[in-house]
Amino acid sequence: MTTDISVEILFAGRLLLGGAFVFAGIRNILNAPLLTQLISARGVPQARLMLWLGIALQIAAGALLIAGIWTALAAAGLILFLLVATPMFHNFWDHQGLERAAKINGVVGNVALIGGFLVVVAGAQ
């Protein structure tokens, strides 16, 4: 065993970041009817198709990130996903009270994820 654990740390980071999106994509499959309604209500044309494209992106890019394949492209795809999905699902400006706070927390979390993906892009070889 090597004393340099940076390879293991990088894998753990990719596993956690990518795994979150694989998990979310699978969860979104289970919630597809509700999510299609939400996306449609936000004025997105062809909401069902857009949902399934988003799910495919989440799962594929998350898996690529975990595997360490095309990590910069996978991270860039997930950044794009977050830039589109965040205002759609974390529209805090339409809410008040605790619901608004929860939506703001979702935005902050997604901004942090984008930061993590930018680190992945910068460190890709």
Range of the domain at 94: 6-123
In a domain, 41, yes or no: yes
Q: Report the share of the chain in percent with pLDDT over 90.
A: 78
- pTM, full prediction: 0.89
* Residue 83, both tokens: 């830039």
- Can you give the pLDDT at residue 6? 87
In a domain, 96, yes or no: yes
In a domain, 1, yes or no: no
In a domain, 117, yes or no: yes
What length is written for the chain? 125
- Can you give the pLDDT at residue 125? 66
In a domain, 15, yes or no: yes
Asked if the model's pLDDT at residue 2 lies above 70, the reply is no
Q: What is the mean pLDDT of residues 40-48?
A: 93
In a domain, 16, yes or no: yes
Please give the tally of structural domains in the chain: 1
In a domain, 19, yes or no: yes
C-alpha to C-alpha distances, 25 to 11, 18, 21, 44, nearest whole angstrom: 20, 11, 6, 19
- Can you give the pLDDT at residue 5? 87
DSSP 93: G
Asked if the model's pLDDT at residue 1 lies above 80, the reply is no
